[in-house]
A and B are shown apart, each in its own frame.
Chain A
Amino acid sequence: MILEAVNVTYEYPDGTRALKNVNFNVEKGQMVALLGPNGAGKSTLFLHFNGVLKPKKGQIRVEGEPIHYTKEGLMKVRQKVGIVFQNPDDQLFAPTVKEDVAFGPFNLGLGLDEIERRVKDSLRKVGMLGFEDKPPHHLSGGEKKRVAIAGILAMNPQIMVLDEPTSGLDPRGASHIMRLLYKLNKEGMTIIIATHDVDMAPLYADKIYIISNGEIIKEGTPREVFKDVKTIRGANLRLPRIAHLMEILEKEDRLPFNKPYPLTIGEARKRLLDKWRIIKAPSHPG
């Protein structure tokens, strides 16, 4: 386990319980989605992962080791676990792109040459080379997001945690970000994504957690999780559109699509072609 939350409970200063006994495990190299409606506690849980918030009860372990809430301990864990915030304007504070990306590496105490190299590398990875001297307010939403990701990449983390990485982006911008994350994951980075986009999650996630009112109410592979339609709908979420279509075709139109419903376009296509072949087969003997 590269990251574990064990029985984490968190209360806001006014006593509201934002997280109740949360258990959350991520294995190295996995891509995990934390699915939940607005206000379920996704962001609060994420801020625990590198020690910005401290649990009232329970423990966060990174590579099996509990976080030490001392200056050195936090420094260590923040280098390993990078968080990309939902609103890039919360994260980009420096007057130019380059200085913003360099902020993390500088704080790690690296040399100037190494910093330059890392800034270049991470801007190249997110496709933002050539924007070094631009001020953030001259960038589009998608570009800001990519610079925010570069700022975390430049710290060379092992785990990247992203809060709603595609919210507020146009479809092309969103798929650009998802492809980038997919690539980073293939290169070995562990990625955790908070989202309420149920259509997107089954496309990339090895594992899905569903959080509602500060509690993890379901976990498993996308197929396992979306099989439990009742729980999904109870948490103010819904089935992916494709699965919903299949459900309607089965229940209303009595077409032979049974559970588990396909979750992605690829799965649905395969299922449809299979059925089609069965129907068509007799008319093409030989």
Chain B
Amino acid sequence: MNISTDFYAHHNKLNRIPPMVKLSWGILTMLFSLLSPSPIIPIIVAVVMSFIIVLIAGIPSRYYLKFISVPFTFGFLTLVLMALFFGVKPSSVGFYWFRVYLDGLHTGFLAFSRIIGGFTCLAFLSLTTPVNEIFKQLEKIKMPRIIIEIALLMYRMIFIFLEEASTMYNAQETRLGYNSIRSSIKSLGLLASNLFIRSWLQGERVYQAMETRCYNGEIPTMKIHETDNKWIILVIAFEITLIIGVYFTRTIKII
């Protein structure tokens, strides 16, 4: 079973770059793009990140466009709704009894740019860095072990349950389980409760299998490779440029 996001996270051209670099790059860039009071920086971030994802990491552009289409639509809806309903300064533009508010349009556009900027940073992380590596980095910065262990086990189980859920779904569909809204609700309920019971049993078996290999309550981790200095310098340089950019564009409005 391949979830494409997970597949690309393991198979992209940025795989060799230390995960800590990618993690700090993604998180810091997202932070500054959210802090920016002007939409300029978030939009630049969105363009740069998309450029890296498609051209440098080599994620197929078609897949990437599909990937960001959901948050993009969400951001656009926010923009429209804010322009129409949030504000005090009506403009002459409008239709029927709706009026576009100027200040609403302004905040709406800022929200839109922040959503896009922030999301492309997340897309960068999730498309170029495998989940287990992200969690290992979190351990490095002293996240409690128990949380990381549970998260990693959950991550592994997601794929097993997705597969089981899709098998069960197909089995139900074969017997016309999703023919009407009524039967869909019923079938979905059955699927969910069945999946719950199965996950319970599966948990028991996984525990037994771990016990067989002398499990004593702690999952050890492998050694983490060290971060190369040139990457750290690159990250720091980029983030400083970004901060300076945020400072100088703070009063610029596009709309």
Chain A positions within 8 Å of B, measured between CB atoms, are: 47, 50, 52, 71, 74-75, 78-79, 82-83, 85, 87, 89-96, 98-99, 102-104, 106-108, 112, 133-138, 151-152, 155
- B208 and A47 form a contact (CB under 8 A): yes
Known: A133-B10, A138-B7. 5 other contacts (CB 8 A): A75-B214, A78-B211, A90-B202, A90-B205, A90-B208
The reply on B131 being an interface residue by CB < 8 A is: yes
The reply on B212 being an interface residue by CB < 8 A is: yes
Q: What residues of chain A lie closer than 8 Å to B212, measured between beta carbons?
A: 50, 52, 78, 82-83, 85
B196-255 with Cβ < 8 A to chain A: 202, 205-206, 208-216, 219-223
- B208 and A52 form a contact (CB under 8 A): yes
Give complex CA distance A99, B202 in Å: 20
Q: What residues of chain B lie closer than 8 Å to A94, measured between beta carbons?
A: 152, 156, 219
The reply on B132 being an interface residue by CB < 8 A is: yes
- A89 and B160 form a contact (CB under 8 A): yes
Instruction: Please give the distance in Å from A126's CB to the nearest CB on chain B.
Output: 16
Interchain residue pairs A-B with the least CB separation, the first 4: A95-B132, A107-B214, A137-B159, A106-B220
- Report which residue of B153, B209, B210, B221 has the largest number of chain A beta carbons within 10 angstroms of its beta carbon: B209
The reply on B74 being an interface residue by CB < 8 A is: no
Chain B positions within 8 Å of A, measured between CB atoms, are: 1-2, 6-7, 10, 130-132, 152-153, 155-156, 159-160, 202, 205-206, 208-216, 219-223
Instruction: Among B6, B159, B213, B220, point to the contact of A152 (Cβ < 8 A).
Output: B213
- Report which residue of B1, B215, B222 has the largest number of chain A beta carbons within 10 angstroms of its beta carbon: B222
Q: Can you give 8 A-B contacts (C-beta < 8 A)?
A: A85-B205, A90-B202, A93-B210, A102-B220, A103-B210, A133-B10, A137-B160, A151-B213
Give complex CA distance A52, B207 in Å: 10
Give complex CA distance A52, B214 in Å: 10
Instruction: Among B10, B209, B213, point to the contact of A107 (Cβ < 8 A).
Output: B213
- B205 and A135 form a contact (CB under 8 A): no
Q: What residues of chain B lie closer than 8 Å to A99, measured between beta carbons?
A: 132, 221-222
Chain A residue nearest to B160 (CB atoms) is: A89
Q: What residues of chain B lie closer than 8 Å to A137, measured between beta carbons?
A: 1-2, 6, 156, 159-160
- B160 and A155 form a contact (CB under 8 A): no
- B156 and A95 form a contact (CB under 8 A): yes
Give complex CA distance A258, B201 in Å: 49
- A112 and B213 form a contact (CB under 8 A): no
Instruction: Among B1, B131, B209, B213, point to the contact of A90 (Cβ < 8 A).
Output: B209
Instruction: Please give the distance in Å from A154's CB to the nearest CB on chain B.
Output: 9
Give complex CA distance A152, B211 in Å: 12
- Report which residue of B7, B205, B213 has the largest number of chain A beta carbons within 10 angstroms of its beta carbon: B213
Q: What residues of chain A lie closer than 8 Å to B155, measured between beta carbons?
A: 95
- B131 and A91 form a contact (CB under 8 A): no
Q: What residues of chain B lie closer than 8 Å to A133, measured between beta carbons?
A: 10
Instruction: Please give the distance in Å from B147's CB to the nearest CB on chain A.
Output: 15
- B214 and A135 form a contact (CB under 8 A): no
Chain B residue nearest to A148 (CB atoms) is: B209
Q: What residues of chain B lie closer than 8 Å to A47, measured between beta carbons?
A: 208
Instruction: Please give the distance in Å from A120's CB to the nearest CB on chain B.
Output: 13
Q: What residues of chain A lie closer than 8 Å to B153, measured between beta carbons?
A: 93
Chain B residue nearest to A134 (CB atoms) is: B10
Give complex CA distance A64, B246 in Å: 74
Q: What residues of chain B lie closer than 8 Å to A71, measured between beta carbons?
A: 216
Give complex CA distance A87, B7 in Å: 23
Q: What residues of chain B lie closer than 8 Å to A102, measured between beta carbons?
A: 220, 222
Q: What residues of chain A lie closer than 8 Å to B220, measured between beta carbons?
A: 102-103, 106-107
- B215 and A107 form a contact (CB under 8 A): yes
Q: What residues of chain B lie closer than 8 Å to A108, measured between beta carbons?
A: 214
Q: What residues of chain A lie closer than 8 Å to B211, measured between beta carbons?
A: 52, 78
Q: What residues of chain A lie closer than 8 Å to B6, measured between beta carbons?
A: 135, 137
Give complex CA distance A106, B215 in Å: 9
Chain A residue nearest to B3 (CB atoms) is: A137
Q: What residues of chain A lie closer than 8 Å to B222, measured between beta carbons?
A: 98-99, 102
Q: What residues of chain B lie closer than 8 Å to A74, measured between beta carbons?
A: 214
Chain A residue nearest to B2 (CB atoms) is: A138
Give complex CA distance A155, B209 in Å: 14
Instruction: Please give the distance in Å from B250's CB to the nearest CB on chain A.
Output: 42
Q: What residues of chain A lie closer than 8 Å to B202, measured between beta carbons?
A: 89-90
- A95 and B152 form a contact (CB under 8 A): yes
Give complex CA distance A112, B2 in Å: 32
Chain B residue nearest to A81 (CB atoms) is: B212
Instruction: Please give the distance in Å from A49's CB to the nearest CB on chain B.
Output: 10
- B131 and A78 form a contact (CB under 8 A): no
Q: What residues of chain A lie closer than 8 Å to B210, measured between beta carbons?
A: 93, 103
